[in-house]
Amino acid sequence: MFLKKFFLIAASAALFSACSMMPAGSAAPAAPEVAAAAERLRIAMVDPTPAALGALVSDDLSYGHSGGKVDTKASFISDLLDGKSDFVSIAITEQTVKVVDANTAIVRHTLTADTNDSGKPGKVALKILGVWQKQGGSWKLLARQAVRI
């Protein structure tokens, strides 16, 4: 019984010590904020507006498509608004969010979608890697790479 209590106290002390070394506003609490930003981007890609997309995408965006095309912020938003890249629906599964530090996060997920790119119906299934950066108090997509499943 003594050994069990000793172990419990020692484990609690170690956990308290580790938590107390984390800086205020540490990375872990940011994961839900990053996930929420990723969800807002999913919605904005289905129903694009310049304001919604502009608020979620970094000015320095580098977006590598599964076919090899690389978009900037301007070309990514333009293609969505013009219907060149038209998502009718997007489903996200198997998402993980890894907050690296207070300003950087990595989001991975599987994206399946019905598309209507330039008026041509289709379906896509992709693995996505997104790098998110906190800029001016908001999480923005800095880089994204898609690969076909």
Strands (E), 5-137: 57-64, 70-71, 87-101, 104-117, 120-135
* Spatial distance between the Cα atoms of 39 and 29, rounded to a whole number of angstroms: 17
What is the 8-class DSSP label of residue 86? -
Which pLDDT belongs to residue 28?
58
Which pLDDT belongs to residue 29?
75
Contact 41, 104 (CB under 8 A): no
Which pLDDT belongs to residue 27?
52
- Amino acid 137 reads G
Q: Which residue stretches of the chain have pLDDT < 70?
A: 1-28
- Amino acid 7 reads F
* Spatial distance between the Cα atoms of 65 and 16, rounded to a whole number of angstroms: 44
Which pLDDT belongs to residue 23?
42
Domains of the chain: residue spans and CATH: 26-148 (3.10.450.50)
